Amino acid sequence: MYRALQSYEPTAESHKTYHAKAAAHLDEVVAERRARLPLAQSSLPTLLRLSLDRPFSGELSVSPAPYKEGALARFWG
């Protein structure tokens, strides 16, 4: 997206204004995403963790052990 914005050369004043606002908005979106990444990487949301802890509970049930191995192991303190 940055390349597309950087390669575009607006000619009309209204296009220049729109272009500047679009670039500023994209900067905000990227900054917010960067702020959320560490949160997403540090823990699983509670609901997701509960659903992984008790998969298919009831008559048909399976162990949550595979979810606690490999890449997901770090989320199970």
DSSP classification of residue 27: H
CA–CA separation, 50 vs 43, rounded Å? 12
When divided into structural domains, the chain yields a total of 2
Verify that 48 and 59 share a domain, yes or no. yes
Verify that 24 and 55 share a domain, yes or no. no
Q: Report residue 26 as tokens.
A: 């994209």
Range of the domain at 18: 1-42
Residue-level pLDDT at 47:
65
Given a contact cutoff of 8 angstroms between Cβ atoms, the answer to whether 8 and 1 are in contact is no
Verify that 18 and 54 share a domain, yes or no. no
Indicate the helix (H) or strand (E) that contains 75: none
Predicted TM-score (pTM) of the model is 0.46
Give the mean pLDDT of the chain. Answer: 81
The larger pLDDT score, comparing residue 33 to residue 43, is at: 33
Q: What is the mean pLDDT of residues 22-51?
A: 79
CA–CA separation, 53 vs 3, rounded Å? 43
Verify that 6 and 31 share a domain, yes or no. yes
Verify that 54 and 76 share a domain, yes or no. yes
Verify that 31 and 67 share a domain, yes or no. no
